[in-house]
Amino acid sequence: MTKVDTEFFFDDMGVGVLYRTPTKPGRYGYMALRGPGHYEMCRAIEANGTARCYFLIGNGSRVAFSVAGFSKDGDLILEDFVDELAR
């Protein structure tokens, strides 16, 4: 089985790379990208309790999801997945 890393975005800014493509609510390990996307996502979580992010899929769509916070191990807690058409 091939490991697939999935880049994800907040407000059209790169945030990080998920170590596996999320398919359902739960904890997901990731590597943060240095830059404004990760910083702004963290600020949104602090201010609103969640941040709305997305990743692109091969059929021209994107999957939006909420980052509800971080686990004690530093994983992201993801929920509320919605398939959307690409902009």
Give 34-79 pLDDT, tens digit per residue.
999 999 999 999 999 999 999 998 777 899 999 999 999 999 999 9
pTM: 0.88
**Are β-strands 30-32 and 13-18 bridged in parallel, bridged antiparallel, or unpaired?**
antiparallel
Amino acid residing at 82: V
For 4, which DSSP code? -
The C-alpha atoms of residue 47 and residue 50 are separated, in whole angstroms, by 8
The model's pLDDT over 2-21, given as tens digits with 9 standing for 90+, comes to 456 799 999 999 999 999 99
